[in-house]
Amino acid sequence: MATPRKQAGGKSPRSSSIKPGNIKPGNVKPGAIKADILKILRDNGARSFHPKEVAKLLGYSTYEAHKTFLTVVDEMKKQEEIKSVGARIQYGSSRRELAEGLLRLNREGFGYVEVEGYEDGFAVRPDDAGSAMNGDRVRIRFGDARTSGGRRKAVIVEILERAKMDLIGTLYQKGKLVYLEADDPTFPHKVNVTSAPADQPLHFKKALVGLDDFDAFRRQFNGHIVELFGAADDPDTLTRALMRRHGLTERFPVAPLEEADGISSDIPEAEIRRRTDLRARRIFTIDPETARDFDDAIHIEERADGGVDIGVHIADVSYYVSPGSALDREAYLRATSVYLADRAIPMLPERLSGDLCSLRPNEDRLAFSCLFTLDANDEVTDYAFHETVIHSGRRFTYEEAQAVIDGGLAGEPFAPDIQRAARLTERLRKKRHAQGSIDFDMPETRVRLDAAGNPVAIERKDRIASHFLIEELMLLANKMAAQELAKGRHKAEGGKGVYRVHDHPDAERLTNLATYVKAFGFMLPLKDGRVRPQDLNALMEAVRGKPAEPVIKYAALRSMAKAAYSTKNVGHYGLGFSHYAHFTSPIRRYPDLMAHRLLKGMAAGGPANEDLESRCEYCSERERKAEEAERDSIKQKQALYALKHLGDTFEGVVTNATRFGIFVEIPSLLLEGLIHVREMDDDYYEYDELRFALIGSHNGKSYHPGLAVRVRVEGANPNTGEIDFGFAQTQKTR
């Protein structure tokens, strides 16, 4: 019988009590390794071993042999041929079940698997995740063992589908060794970069790296460079890396660009004769100062009976973009324009979005117009949709229009129109809120940048009357579009339309919201898990002007269901509308283009030859991804801005408490950061779910939403958008 391999000092590891059996050390074939492992474990009964002990007994001292040995052990554990006892192994197998689901990992490598049919996910420890990554679809094996939190434990036995096979991160170079640290905080491994180019420095460069294989022995991936972005601390590099991470690109393929360039700027006379000619109307636009694409224009005229005639004129994108064309295919793939902190990524090429389809002043333009009449009581008495040709007489910025509303810009020819529209839309807005439309009125967070893309200030821009003027008229046109779609004249689609729907909020979320705002001293009445829109409006009014206003409004927004696109009209809870669609922005939203085509098809009596429901689902998903990218872009710039204030102290307010720490916002900087619970070392703090608070076990100190604290900026990571705070005055250590 072969003797175990000896350690320095002449003693075999725990050899006095191990029965190695009749084995041959040094076998490197997986089948032989498996047989030897089973024999050692079987011959030693119920005793458990650390895999290193078994490896030494079998003489696996070389890297390749040890690597193969560990791979076999992992496979045997996954197949339940041997038992896992913590980090040790033991002979025998317990009956366990298999299931499939999506893996969600946190930054520490712990995760859970969502499995259909099971209310709670299954817990996965880092050692049991193998090479699985966040978002992978995996097969798990689970038994009756549970975590301290009550969640059942599971082991990943197979990766069924990878969420991704590449990563964006920062390269680090030590001699010939190059490795990538991923931006994704849930990815726990380093990536060894093979075949890195030797003719250029790679240290601290942003890169996209494709994953090749997983080295189980070193617990790292091997990969190759797909794309280099530039220096990891350059603002433009950070933005381009963020765009790639979210699957965004500014570049258009050749085919749609050629198609766009081939469109004539001249409007055929026959097309003008075919349309309703509104060029004599007093039409104007109101847009942001930086806007380049003007997709909506308006006109308003008084009637002798005390009512008004209004026109909402929308760029006629469907005239230029035919179904199935290269332009149409690319627009559908993008589904929406994306507005990052330092750039816009359009849905349509500049030739269309900034030129042919843009309702620029003093130029004839094709439009699809919603014309409606309101009586003296501000009720819509008639509406109709027309393909039109218009001529905008003036382009206003929101600030210029506001000056007109406030009585400025003396001699402005369009002043009576704007002031008339402002008075009307103010009444419409008040009526809408009284009828149950929720008034979130969220201020916009904007980052002011220098020429290099570095943030120099972060501002919250409140909305003004000129914003509300345009908003109300667009809401009205969208509402009319949905009502027209609901008439269902397009028989081939069974009366389907493309609606913007917003379902009732979940009762549990509303209960959590009511508990949350109570911590700030506000009340939200609930009845059977429901809240009246009027009570939500009362809450929004109660917090107006208070330091906690943006925090509570964001919390209220998060408690709402997500709005989406659908052919099934369930109404719009937030607006209080039974019918609502998106009609007014076809330059930047594909569902609006779909609505235009449907409305035109209805007018012509023809069918709508599109798979509407699947397209609605796709556009909803693309919208969510665009929102994530826009949010991450703001967070990235906020983190860069925070780096300018390292070590500075500010007054802050606690916005939320979790088991791992408290989130604090600095109102003067519009930055939110985390104070980790490990920094709160003057006591042992436990999380109180009912009060959204961390409470000291001994001193009773409570950190809860609304609490004023003074904090110091400790660090920030532009790759993740995370900002770390500390207490301005160090806590007394126990």
Give the N- to C-terminal CA distance of the chain in Å, as an integer: 59
d(CA 379, CA 693): 48
Are residues 257 and 346 in contact, defined by beta-carbon separation less than 8 angstroms? no
The tokens describing 153, both together, are 């434990």
How far is C-alpha 473 from the chain's CA centre? 29
pLDDT digits 0-9 by tens, 66-98: 888 888 888 888 777 787 777 788 877 655 678
Lowest mean pLDDT segment, chosen from 315-329, 338-352, 501-515: 501-515
Mean predicted confidence (pLDDT) in 658-665: 93
For 54, 337, 348, 500, the CA distances from 317, given in Å and listed in that order, are 70, 14, 10, 19
Higher pLDDT, 553 or 694: 694
The tokens describing 668, both together, are 């003067």
pLDDT at 3 over 70: no
Task: Give residue 322's pLDDT.
Answer: 96
Are residues 658 and 693 in contact, defined by beta-carbon separation less than 8 angstroms? no
d(CA 225, CA 205): 11
d(CA 594, CA 617): 13
d(CA 449, CA 445): 13
Lowest mean pLDDT segment, chosen from 184-188, 345-349, 603-607: 603-607
d(CA 665, CA 710): 10
Are residues 560 and 505 in contact, defined by beta-carbon separation less than 8 angstroms? yes
Task: Give residue 90's pLDDT.
Answer: 83
Are residues 626 and 336 in contact, defined by beta-carbon separation less than 8 angstroms? yes
Mean predicted confidence (pLDDT) in 17-39: 65
pLDDT at 715 over 90: yes
pLDDT at 500 over 90: yes
Other CB atoms within a 10 A radius of the CB of residue 292 amount to: 14
Specify the amino acid at residue 4: P
Query: What confidence category does residue 544 fall into, taking pLDDT thresholds of 50, 70 and 90?
Result: confident
> How much of the chain, in percent, has pLDDT values that exceed 70?
93
pLDDT at 39 over 90: no
The tokens describing 510, both together, are 């509303």
283, exposed or middle or buried, with CB in 10 Å at 0-12, 13-18, 19+? Answer: buried
Nearest Cα residue to 317 out of 341, 340, 288, 347: 347
Task: Give residue 711's pLDDT.
Answer: 96
d(CA 65, CA 59): 9
Nearest Cα residue to 726 out of 655, 660, 678: 678
Mean predicted confidence (pLDDT) in 293-321: 97
d(CA 652, CA 650): 6
Helix (H/G/I), strand (E/B), else coil: 449: strand
Residue holding tokens 């958008």? 721
Q: What is the DSSP string of 450-464?
A: -TTS-EEEEEEE---
Residue holding tokens 């210029």? 400
Task: Give residue 301's pLDDT.
Answer: 97
pLDDT digits 0-9 by tens, 129-159: 888 999 999 999 887 778 877 888 898 888 9
pLDDT at 15 over 50: no
208: enclosing H helix or E strand: strand 205-215
Could you give the count of Cα atoms lying within 13 Å of 451 in the half-sphere of its Cβ?
0
Task: Give residue 488's pLDDT.
Answer: 65
Nearest Cα residue to 213 out of 149, 120, 130: 130
Are residues 476 and 428 in contact, defined by beta-carbon separation less than 8 angstroms? yes
> How much of the chain, in percent, has pLDDT values that exceed 90?
60
pLDDT digits 0-9 by tens, 419-448: 999 999 999 999 999 998 998 877 788 999
Lowest mean pLDDT segment, chosen from 252-261, 407-416, 597-606: 597-606
Task: Give residue 494's pLDDT.
Answer: 53
Other CB atoms within a 10 A radius of the CB of residue 329 amount to: 15
Average pLDDT, the chain: 88
Query: What confidence category does residue 528 fall into, taking pLDDT thresholds of 50, 70 and 90?
Result: confident
Are residues 130 and 148 in contact, defined by beta-carbon separation less than 8 angstroms? no
Query: What confidence category does residue 725 fall into, taking pLDDT thresholds of 50, 70 and 90?
Result: very high
State which of 57-71, 156-170, 470-484, 652-666 shows the largest mean pLDDT: 470-484
Task: Give residue 472's pLDDT.
Answer: 97
Query: What confidence category does residue 26 fall into, taking pLDDT thresholds of 50, 70 and 90?
Result: very low
pLDDT at 571 over 50: yes
DSSP 586: T
Helix (H/G/I), strand (E/B), else coil: 68: helix
Strand order in the sheet with 394-397: 276-277, 380-391, 364-374, 308-315, 296-302, 284-287, 394-397
d(CA 211, CA 194): 10
Task: Give residue 10's pLDDT.
Answer: 36
Task: Give residue 94's pLDDT.
Answer: 56
Mean predicted confidence (pLDDT) in 175-195: 90
Are residues 11 and 50 in contact, defined by beta-carbon separation less than 8 angstroms? no
Mean predicted confidence (pLDDT) in 485-491: 67
Query: What confidence category does residue 36 fall into, taking pLDDT thresholds of 50, 70 and 90?
Result: confident
Residue holding tokens 């809870």? 573
Are residues 180 and 223 in contact, defined by beta-carbon separation less than 8 angstroms? yes
Residue holding tokens 């008040």? 430
Task: Give residue 292's pLDDT.
Answer: 84
d(CA 568, CA 68): 55
d(CA 376, CA 306): 5
d(CA 138, CA 158): 6
Mean predicted confidence (pLDDT) in 633-646: 97
Nearest Cα residue to 43 out of 73, 69, 23, 14: 23
Residues present in the chain in total: 734
d(CA 220, CA 188): 9
Task: Give residue 705's pLDDT.
Answer: 85
Nearest Cα residue to 448 out of 457, 439, 438, 440: 457
Which phi and psi (to 5°) does residue 397 adopt?
-85, 165
Nearest Cα residue to 555 out of 511, 618, 597: 511
pLDDT at 370 over 90: yes
Mean predicted confidence (pLDDT) in 524-544: 89
Domains of the chain with CATH codes: 1-93 (1.10.10), 97-161 (2.40.50.140), 166-232 (2.40.50.640), 254-431+457-461 (no CATH), 471-629 (no CATH), 645-727 (2.40.50.140)
Other CB atoms within a 10 A radius of the CB of residue 162 amount to: 15
